[in-house]
Amino acid sequence: MADSKANSITLKVDGPLVCRGEITLVNAAGEVLLKDSEVWLCRCGESKKMPFCDGNHRQAGFRDAGEFEDERAETLDSCIGPLLISVKPNAMLSIKGPVTIQSADGRFHSQRSRGALCRCGHSGKKPFCDASHKRCGFNVD
């Protein structure tokens, strides 16, 4: 059984990133937006409450099965400890800290201590950022 204090980011099929653990969410200036044990973050690019999910992925027709490969996966001793998620203006979510990233069904998973996650909905490497936000005109804080 997984440790309930361990950091995890779960990809909901056709939906948000569900982040659990010791989460601190900050804006580009480093100001704390939220400090909590759970936060649901938009990954379709259509939320009116960015960076938070507001359910607009349904109306936007966002599709992603949550299947992924991670060529930068790490093997961590533990995923317990602070996880900092930084919201980059007009760009990705930057993560720093130990975390397991996983599909909703658990078939796909990797561990990371840092990375960049897509929030525009257009990356070809979801859940990871591939700089598609620059090409699609993603413009939101």
Give the DSSP letter string of 43-93: -SS--TTTTB--SHHHHHT---------TT-B--S---SEEEEEE-TTS-E
What integer pLDDT is reported at residue 114 of this predicted model? 97
For residue 32, what pLDDT is reported?
98
Per-residue pLDDT of 31-81, as tens digits, reads: 999 999 999 999 999 999 999 999 999 999 999 999 999 999 999 999 999
